[in-house]
Structure 1
């Protein structure tokens, strides 16, 4: 992968990860208001963003497995960190939304 291509890929991972995390937090806000239908919709959108970031990440792994070594830069590490924190935030937010739903049922 050329450097320019890698920069674009890194920013796409950051973009999709950030969008996914933002959508998950919007879902939490909807659940706090009792709008669980909206929360579920936003979580599904978040899933789509994470899946897109995962596809990009997988392409990098496949390229490296094929012998095209990836230059590891601070920006690339940041992108990976950004994606992982988005995944973890979404996971925690899903737990919180389940709790809101249980409280709402009572």
Structure 2
């Protein structure tokens, strides 16, 4: 049985999950705004998504720095989930940028 995460690790893991989730939500809202032709809002949401990903990366960097410094962390389902959430959000954010650009091109051609 693995030991639970300490408070600092738990906060970092939760920071990953929350910020990655916010990034994915903002990216989805960017696509919805672009679909309606509100490209200013779409770009604001993409910017917010990028900022949330930066915050998530800060949490991840904290965990990686601790491990590199000799403070190992137990791998729990929660830690795996946090990394999965981050990777999914990064991919979704990249895709959202492309979708917004496609909507902009379609609007320009009309």
TM-score, length-scaled by structure 1: 0.95
Unaligned runs of 5+ in 1: none
1: CA distance, partners of 2:62 / 2:10: 14
Tell me whether 1:75 sits opposite 2:75 in the alignment: no
2: CA distance, partners of 1:83 / 1:21: 9
Residue among 18, 21, 32 paired with 1:15: 18
In the other structure, the counterpart of 2:53 is 50
The alpha-carbon deviation at position 81 of structure 1 amounts to 0.1
1: CA distance, partners of 2:15 / 2:60: 10
Unaligned runs of 5+ in 2: none
1: CA distance, partners of 2:95 / 2:47: 15
Runs (4 or more) in structure 1 with deviation over 6 Å come to: none
Cα shift readout 1:30-66 (whole Å, capped 9, x = no counterpart)? 0000000110001101111000000110111111111
TM-score, length-scaled by structure 2: 0.91
The alpha-carbon deviation at position 4 of structure 1 amounts to 2.4
2: CA distance, partners of 1:64 / 1:57: 11
